[in-house]
Amino acid sequence: MSKKDLLIIDDEENMRHMLEAMLSKYDYTVSVAGNGLEATEMMQTHEYDYILCDIRMPEMDGLQFLQHNENVLENTTVIMMSAYGSVDLALDAMKKGAYDFISKPFKRDEVLLTLKKAEERESLKQENRLLKKVLEKRNDGFTRIIGESRALKNVLDIAEKVSPYATTVLITGESGTGKELVARGIHVSSPRKAKPFFAINCGSIPGELLESELFGYLKGSFTGADRDKEGLFAAANASTLFLDEIGELPQAMQVKLLRVLQENEIRPLGASRVKPIDVRIIAATAKDLHDEVLKGRFREDLYYRLNILSVPLPPLRERLEDIPLLCDFFISKYNGQLNKEVTGVSVEAMKYLLRYQWPGNIRELENVIQRGLVLTEGSTIDVAHLPPTMANTRPEEREGLSIAGFSLKDAQKKLEAAMIGKALAETGGNKSQAALLLEISYPNLLSKIKEYSL
C-alpha cells in the first residue's frame, strides 16, 4: 500500500518532532511546517493527503490558514489541534473546512484513530467517484436510471442488448418502478434516437378516443372532425412508440393493434387506403398479462406478439441497496426547486426507509424525500419528517432487537454502544460533533469507543 503524504503544522518544535517520529512509523510520509505561512508556501509545490494543523501560531494561525487556502484544500483532509479547545473553536474550524478537531494534550491512539476515520471517509469518497464513473460509462440512454444493485444491473443488461434492434419489447413491473424511463433508455440507445420518443397511456384515454389518437383521422370522418389529424403511429414513423399500461387496452383496440404489428400498416379513421409505417413498439404493464389471457381479458395472439422480449423491472423492496443513491438523487433534484441545502438522510431515518415495503416503489420514495425536504429545517431528513404511516414501527422492533437476561448493566452497555455508533454514523465519523450530539465530553467518548471496539 502506498504511503499517504501528511503535513504537520505547529509552532512548537517538540510537538512537530513527536508527531513526525510517531506517524513516520505508520503509512505516512511526513513533512513539517512551523506556521500557516510556511505551510502555504510548501503547498504551492506539493499536494498533501492529510494535514494536522495547530490553531494558535504566529504569522498565520490555523483558522487563517484554512481560510487562505480554501480552494487548495479541496482534496485534503485537515485535522485541527489546540490546547485551548472549546466547542465554539471546534465548530468555527469545521465551518472553515476542517474535518475534525483534537484537543492537546492527546494520546497517540487518539491521533491514529482520527486519521483512520479520515482515511475511511476518503475511501467512501473514492467509492462515490468510481460509482459516478461507472454511471458515466453506462450506455447514454440509461444514465438517468439510478442504482447499482444486481437486480437492476440484470435488467439494464437485457435492455442494452435489445436496444439496437427493432424488436418489440414488453416491460413489466409494479407501478412506480420506472418502466417509461427504461423505455426511453432503449430508444435513446437505439438507431432511432435522432427521432422523438412518443408515449401514450392506454388506460388514461377512453376507448372511443384512443383509436383516433393512435391511428389519426381524415376531415369529415365523424362529427367534429373539421381537419385531418395525424395519429401517434404516423408521427412515430421511423421512431419508437411507447404504449404504457397496455393491459388496459380495450378488446376492440387489441385486434387493431395486432394487425399493425403483423402488417406494419395503419388505416386512419375515414381513410380508404392503408399507410405503411416503420414503428418500434415498446409496451409496458403492471398487470400479469399471461393471467389476463387466461381470464379472457387479453388476446393471446397479441400477448405473444408483444412479449417477444420481456424486461421485468424489480420492485424497490428487491433492490434496497439502491435506496441511498436514489435518496441522494432526489435530494439534489429538489434542493434547487425548494431552495434548500439538505445534505442527506439521517442514519435513523434511513433505517426506516430500508425496512419499508414500498408499495409505490420509486415514485413513492421520491414523494417521501420531497416531503422530507419541505418539512426539515436543518441539513438532514430525520424520522420526524417521514410520513406517519412509515414511522409507526421502530426499526429496532422490526430488527427484533433483544437483550438476553435481566442485567441493567448489560442493557446499558448495548444501548450506549448503539447510540455512539449512531452518532458516529450521523456525523460521518467526526468524534467532536458526535460528542456534542451525545452530550458527553470528548475524552469520555474516546474512552467508550475503545471500550466497545467501535
Across 284-309, average pLDDT: 94
Residue 7 bridge partners (DSSP): 31, 51
CA distance 1 to 154: 34
Comparing 2-6, 51-55, 285-289, 377-381, which segment has the lowest mean pLDDT? 2-6
Of all residues in the chain, what percent carry a pLDDT higher than 90? 45
- Binned at pLDDT 50, 70 and 90, residue 105 comes out as confident
Which pLDDT score is estimated for 70?
A: 84
Residues 148 and 321 sit within 8 Å (Cβ to Cβ): yes
Q: Residue 7: pLDDT above 70?
A: yes
Residues 372 and 381 sit within 8 Å (Cβ to Cβ): yes
Total residue count of the chain as it appears in this document: 454
Which pLDDT score is estimated for 76?
A: 86
CA distance 6 to 48: 6
Enumerate domains of the chain plus CATH numbers.
4-134 (3.40.50.2300), 146-314 (3.40.50.300), 317-398 (1.10.8.60), 402-451 (1.10.10)
The grid coordinates listed for 310 are 420481456
305 φ, ψ (degrees, to nearest 5): -70, -35
- Binned at pLDDT 50, 70 and 90, residue 184 comes out as very high
Which pLDDT score is estimated for 129?
A: 59
Q: Answer with the residue of higher pLDDT: 171 or 222.
A: 171
- Binned at pLDDT 50, 70 and 90, residue 315 comes out as very high
- Binned at pLDDT 50, 70 and 90, residue 402 comes out as very low
The grid coordinates listed for 24 are 513516520
Q: Answer with the residue of higher pLDDT: 118 or 23.
A: 23
Across 109-135, average pLDDT: 71
CA–CA distance from 169 to each of 231, 244, 255, 284, 393 (Å)? 21, 12, 18, 8, 40
Comparing 263-272, 291-300, 400-409, which segment has the lowest mean pLDDT? 400-409
Which pLDDT score is estimated for 148?
A: 85
The grid coordinates listed for 14 are 517538540
Cell 376492440 sits on residue: 252
If DSSP codes are grouped into helix, strand and coil, which group holds residue 381?
Answer: strand
Q: Residues 113, 119, 120, 122: what is their CA dihedral angle, to the nearest 10 degrees?
A: 150
CA distance 189 to 140: 7
Comparing 269-273, 341-345, 428-432, which segment has the lowest mean pLDDT? 428-432
Which pLDDT score is estimated for 434?
A: 78
- The dihedral region occupied by 77, where left means phi > 0, alpha psi between -120 and 50, and beta the remainder, is beta
Going by C-alpha positions, the residue among 334, 361, 343 that lies closest to residue 426 is 343
b/e per residue 306-334 (b: at least 16 CB within 10 A): beeeebebbbbeebeebbebbbbbbbeeb
Which pLDDT score is estimated for 239?
A: 96
CA–CA distance from 168 to each of 113, 183, 284, 285, 426 (Å)? 57, 11, 11, 14, 47
Q: Residue 132: pLDDT above 60?
A: no
CA distance 159 to 186: 6
Q: Residue 187: pLDDT above 50?
A: yes
Strands 50-54, 28-33: pairing kind: unpaired
- Binned at pLDDT 50, 70 and 90, residue 86 comes out as low
Residues 449 and 431 sit within 8 Å (Cβ to Cβ): yes
Which pLDDT score is estimated for 91?
A: 75
Q: Residue 320: pLDDT above 80?
A: yes
Which pLDDT score is estimated for 87?
A: 66
Q: Answer with the residue of higher pLDDT: 138 or 332.
A: 332
- Residue 256's contacts (CB-CB under 8 Å, 6 or more residues apart) are 211, 215
Tens of pLDDT, residue by residue over 225-259, are 888 889 999 999 999 999 999 999 999 999 999 99
Of all residues in the chain, what percent carry a pLDDT higher than 70? 89
Q: Identify the helix (H) or strand (E) that includes residue 216.
A: strand 216-217
CA–CA distance from 209 to each of 139, 216, 253, 297, 338 (Å)? 37, 10, 11, 20, 38
- Binned at pLDDT 50, 70 and 90, residue 294 comes out as very high
- Binned at pLDDT 50, 70 and 90, residue 31 comes out as very high
Q: Residue 206: pLDDT above 80?
A: yes
